[in-house]
């Protein structure tokens, strides 16, 4: 549950960056690629919340593969898919235009997310928690992490 809460927080950070980034005086690259870094982090945390017990390195590789798949899917066009990409939801989930720079930003976000996961859950080599722990123990440990 802690990983899902972190993922939701990252989603709101990304939406906030897109909504007010320019009004805060942030430059285009910071807003654009900052959002991509956060998107990569979100992919890591959502995937990690689904595949509890996987080694972090495996989640990182799978998250990078998933992010690459989504990015390369932008090269494939059908009328229905292109219509979906023109919606806000479609743009946020799939994006509109292929960019190799996004692949770097996603990878950076995934690596940072895995590092954060390791800081929050240091005693486990697997994502989120050791499979021998209950989810209540994980949440207690996460809430007791020093700020």
Kindly indicate the confidence band of residue 133, based on its pLDDT and cuts at 50, 70 and 90.
very low
Can you list the alpha helix ranges (DSSP code H) found in the chain? 2-20, 28-50, 56-73, 79-85, 88-94, 100-120, 135-143
Does residue 74 contact residue 1 with C-beta atoms inside 8 Å? no
- pLDDT, tens digit, 9 for 90 and up, residues 59-112: 999 999 999 999 999 999 999 999 999 998 888 888 888 999 999 999 999 999
Whether the predicted pLDDT of 143 surpasses 80? no
Among 114, 7, 6, 105, which residue's Cα sits nearest to residue 54? Answer: 114
Distance separating alpha carbons of residues 20 and 63, to the nearest angstrom: 27
Among 47, 72, 49, which residue's Cα sits nearest to residue 61? Answer: 47
Q: What is the pLDDT of residue 135?
A: 46
Q: What is the pLDDT of residue 108?
A: 98
**In the chain, what percentage of residues exceed pLDDT 70?**
83
Among 121, 70, 122, 118, which residue's Cα sits nearest to residue 96? Answer: 70
Does residue 21 contact residue 34 with C-beta atoms inside 8 Å? yes
- 76 backbone φψ class: left, alpha, beta (φ>0; ψ -120 to 50): beta
- pLDDT, tens digit, 9 for 90 and up, residues 37-58: 999 999 999 999 999 889 999 9
Whether the predicted pLDDT of 130 surpasses 70? no
Kindly indicate the confidence band of residue 142, based on its pLDDT and cuts at 50, 70 and 90.
low
Distance separating alpha carbons of residues 65 and 56, to the nearest angstrom: 14
């Amino acid at each position: 549950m802690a990983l899902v809460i972190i993922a939701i927080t990252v989603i709101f950070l990304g939406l906030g960056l897109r909504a007010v980034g320019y009004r805060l005086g942030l430059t285009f690259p910071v807003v654009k690629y900052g959002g991509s870094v956060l998107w990569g982090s979100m992919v890591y945390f959502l995937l990690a919340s689904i595949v509890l017990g996987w080694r972090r390195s495996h989640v990182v590789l799978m998250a990078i593969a998933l992010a690459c798949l989504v990015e390369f899917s932008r090269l494939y066009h059908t009328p229905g898919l292109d219509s979906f990409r023109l919606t806000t939801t479609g743009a946020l989930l799939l994006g509109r235009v292929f960019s190799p720079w996004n692949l770097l930003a996603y990878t950076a976000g995934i690596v940072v997310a895995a590092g954060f996961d390791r800081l929050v859950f240091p005693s486990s080599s697997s994502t989120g928690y050791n499979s021998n722990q209950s989810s209540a123990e994980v949440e207690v440990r996460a809430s007791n992490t020093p700020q």
